[in-house]
Amino acid sequence: MRDFDQVRIRMKNKYVISILVLLIILIPFCKKENEYIKDIDGNVYKTVVIGKYKWMAENLKTITFNNGAEIRLVEGNSNWSGLSSAGYCWYDDNKSNANIYGALYNWYAVASGTLCPQGWRVPSDEEWKYLEGYVDSLYKIGDKIWNKSGLRGYNAGTMLKAASGWKLGGNGTDNFSFSALPAGERLNSFNNSGGSCGFWWSCTEDGPSNAWYRCLIYGFDYVSRDIHPKRMGFSVRCIKDN
C-alpha cells in the first residue's frame, strides 16, 4: 500500500510539472500583441482589438508626420479658419490639454496619408460603420441604419464613450475599452468643450470641401455621422487590420 501511495505521488508530481511546462509554453502566445504603439514623436498609445480591426484607444497627438515632416501648429481662430493646408492645434490653444484629449487636426492633415504611425491609418467611413455595428446591441454590422446621416443606432455611443470624463450623467459604459473622450472641435472658435461632445475624422471625403466624421454627444446613446468642412479641427483615432 505504501508503494502504491509513492507511485501515486510521483504521478501527481509529474502531472503538475507537465501543467507548469505547458503554461510556460503557452503564456507568450496568450499575451496580446502590440498592446501599445508609439508614434514618430515617441508618444505611446494604448490599443484595443474590436472585431477585425485594431484601434488606438486614445486620440492621436503627434506633431510630426510619419515621414519626419513637421505638422504646422496653428494658433488663433482666424489663422485656423482660413487654413487650406495641413495643420493641428491643442484645444483652447493650450498644450496641457494634449495628454487627455490629444490634438485637433484639420482634414488636410488626414489626407496626407502620413498622419498615423507607420502601418496605421485614419479609418474610412466604412470602417467606422463596421465599428458601430460591432459594438451596438441592436443594429449589427451591415444594417442599413449605419448608412444614414445624423444620430443613428441604438447604444453604440454609450458603448464607445469613456466611463468618466463626460458631463455628469453623460459617461459611457466603455464596454470595448475604446475610451472616447469629449475633445470638442475647432473652426472659427473652439466649441463643444466641457465634456459635451467628441468629434473624429474619417479619411473619406465628400466632394472638394467636405469629409465624413463621427460625433459622440453628451446625453445621447447614439453615434452621429455627417459631413463637415475639411477646415474643421477634429480628433483622430488610427486603425490597422488585426
> What pLDDT shows up at residue 11?
53
Dist CA 116 CA 61 (whole Å): 10
- Pair (96, 214) in one structural domain: yes
- Pair (51, 145) in one structural domain: yes
- Pair (49, 121) in one structural domain: yes
Residue matched to cell numbers 509513492: 6
Task: For residue 225, count CB atoms less than 10 angstroms from its CB and return exposed for 0-12, middle for 13-18, buried for 19 or more.
Answer: buried
Joined together, the cell numbers standing for residue 233 give: 479641427
The total of structural domains in the chain comes to: 2
> What pLDDT shows up at residue 187?
95
- Pair (22, 79) in one structural domain: no
- Pair (112, 227) in one structural domain: yes
Joined together, the cell numbers standing for residue 70 give: 513637421
- Pair (74, 193) in one structural domain: yes
Residue matched to cell numbers 482589438: 49
- Pair (75, 141) in one structural domain: yes
- Pair (211, 101) in one structural domain: yes
Joined together, the cell numbers standing for residue 132 give: 458601430
* Tens-level pLDDT at each residue, the chain (242 residues): 555 455 455 555 555 455 544 444 444 444 444 589 999 999 999 999 999 999 999 999 999 999 999 999 999 999 999 999 999 999 999 999 999 999 999 999 999 999 999 999 999 999 999 999 999 999 999 999 999 999 999 999 999 999 999 998 899 999 999 999 999 999 999 998 789 999 999 999 999 999 999 999 999 999 999 999 999 999 999 999 99
Dist CA 166 CA 20 (whole Å): 45
> What pLDDT shows up at residue 193?
78
- Pair (60, 170) in one structural domain: yes
- Pair (11, 99) in one structural domain: no
- The model carries a pTM of 0.86
Residue 233, strand partner residues: 186
> What pLDDT shows up at residue 157?
98
- Pair (12, 83) in one structural domain: no
> What pLDDT shows up at residue 147?
98
Classified as helix, coil or strand, 53 is strand
Q: Is the dihedral angle over the CA atoms 173, 194, 201, 101 positive or is it negative?
A: negative
Classified as helix, coil or strand, 109 is helix
- Pair (9, 61) in one structural domain: no
Classified as helix, coil or strand, 79 is helix
CB-based contact 62:122 (threshold 8 Å): no
> What pLDDT shows up at residue 51?
98
Domain span at residue 20? 1-31
